[in-house]
Amino acid sequence: MLCFFLLSEYEAEQPTFPDGYESKQESVSVVEAKKNLHRTVLFYPGSPREYLEYYIFPILLPGMAELLHQAKKEKCFERKRTKFIACDFLTEWLYNQNPKRKDESFTEFFSIPFVSDWLKDHPRPPIPLSLLLSEEEASKVIQSFWRGYRVRCDPEVQELREWQKQLREDKNVIKNLKEFWMKQEAKGNRVIPNLTHRRKWHWGERIVSFSSPQFG
């Protein structure tokens, strides 16, 4: 792969990032001063290949090397999908390695000013939870679900769940009836008179008394 080739070439031949970057910046400044060009974009009179070799690769290759190492830690070479985004990592690394920010603290990707401004107008979809969980957390979720499934397969537990379901349905019926009569009462704008009469039945030697429900 091209990335591994560049990485091996960089580690074997290229100098470290800070020294190479500063020296090239000085040479570019001299060229700009001689030509009296007041531009924000650096100008190099040589070929595109020379420009890449002397000004781009000394800056980019160290970042590519760190990117590949981080991708290996995130197991990007073992899995089809991961939460690791190479462009985000490289942007964060280049921003924090900028010599103009030498004495400043580390800034994470989403706190970079131009990144936060862009994401305000172009929000990203959320990352799936399956990609955010670590292996230990994912194993706990799977084991918990499997234990719950095995318990729910027990005949006694199934019978209990069926009884609870029927009980919930019965309660909902009573609740619906209460709501129905309350709506009817409010719709008619009247109060149902209290039913105060009582009924008594002789049940064996006991007298059982029932009172009619009262409304209003």
- The closest of 68, 59, 58 to 89, measured between CA atoms, is 68
Kindly report the length of the chain.
216
67 neighbors 89 (Cβ within 8 angstroms):
yes
Q: At 194, is the pLDDT very low, low, confident or very high (cuts 50, 70, 90)?
A: very low
Confidence at residue 172, expressed as pLDDT on a 0 to 100 scale: 73
Q: What is the pTM of this model?
A: 0.49
pLDDT (mean) for 182-207 = 55
* pLDDT surpasses 90 at 144: yes
Q: How far apart are CA 71 and CA 16, in angstroms?
A: 21
Q: How far apart are CA 145 and CA 139, in angstroms?
A: 10
* pLDDT surpasses 90 at 68: yes
Q: What angle, 0 to 180 degrees and rounded to 10, lies between the N-to-C axes of helices 155-188 and 135-152?
A: 90
* pLDDT surpasses 60 at 56: yes
Residue ranges covered by each domain of the chain: 2-127, 133-191
Of the listed ranges 3-7, 68-72, 102-106, the least confidently predicted one is 3-7
What rounded mean pLDDT belongs to the chain?
Answer: 74
- The closest of 68, 95, 96 to 84, measured between CA atoms, is 68
Tokens of 194: 């209290």
pLDDT (mean) for 5-17 = 54
Confidence at residue 147, expressed as pLDDT on a 0 to 100 scale: 93
Task: Choose the most confident range, by mean pLDDT, from 16-20, 40-44, 161-165.
Answer: 161-165
Tokens of 189: 């704008």
